[in-house]
Amino acid sequence: MGMKQIKRRAGIVLAATAMLTGVSGIASATSAQAAANASCWYSATPNNSSLKTTLKGTYNLKSGIGSVCSNVRSVSTGTVFYVWCGAVNPDSGVLWFYGRVAGTETKGYMSSDNLNYVSGSWSYC
């Protein structure tokens, strides 16, 4: 499954969740409003996926689901990132993956926007 399919599927899940929980205001929030109200989100982190990705550029691995979360460490372009599971950021609607940097025991969250698909599939956290 490619990243576009992953993001589309995550968007559908987020929209359905908003409708089911009555949180229709999420769709009308502007980027500025979302950024002002951004939180660092967390999820369970089961290793229930086989997705292998590489980084599109040099980005910071995060401690939680969101760009406002603290940095774990910087990860360089082309580095392999093994995905354990995925979760959607409620503030931005962006899909984030929890996983491990190849060749290390370093774990954290990475935005799906920063990753290239290599192989495998993923499941929600």
* Residue 124 counted as domain residue: no
* Residue 109 counted as domain residue: yes
* Residue 26 counted as domain residue: yes
Confidence of residue 100 (pLDDT cuts 50, 70, 90): very high
Per-residue model confidence (pLDDT) at position 38: 84
With beta carbons less than 8 A apart as the criterion, state whether 45 and 96 touch. Answer: no
In percent, the amount of the chain with pLDDT more than 70 equals: 71
What is the domain range of residue 35?
3-119
* Residue 38 counted as domain residue: yes
Per-residue model confidence (pLDDT) at position 6: 58
pTM of the model: 0.73
* Residue 30 counted as domain residue: yes
Asked whether the predicted pLDDT for residue 120 surpasses 70, the reply is yes
Per-residue model confidence (pLDDT) at position 2: 61
Per-residue model confidence (pLDDT) at position 49: 97
Place of tokens 């409620």: 90
Q: Using one digit for the tens of pLDDT, what is the confidence trace for 17-71?
A: 333 233 333 333 444 444 567 899 999 999 999 999 999 999 999 999 999 999 9
* Residue 52 counted as domain residue: yes
When divided into structural domains, the chain yields a total of 1
Q: Is 109 exposed, middle or buried (0-12, 13-18, 19+ CB in 10 A)?
A: buried
CATH no. for residue 71?
A: 2.30.30.40
Per-residue model confidence (pLDDT) at position 3: 60
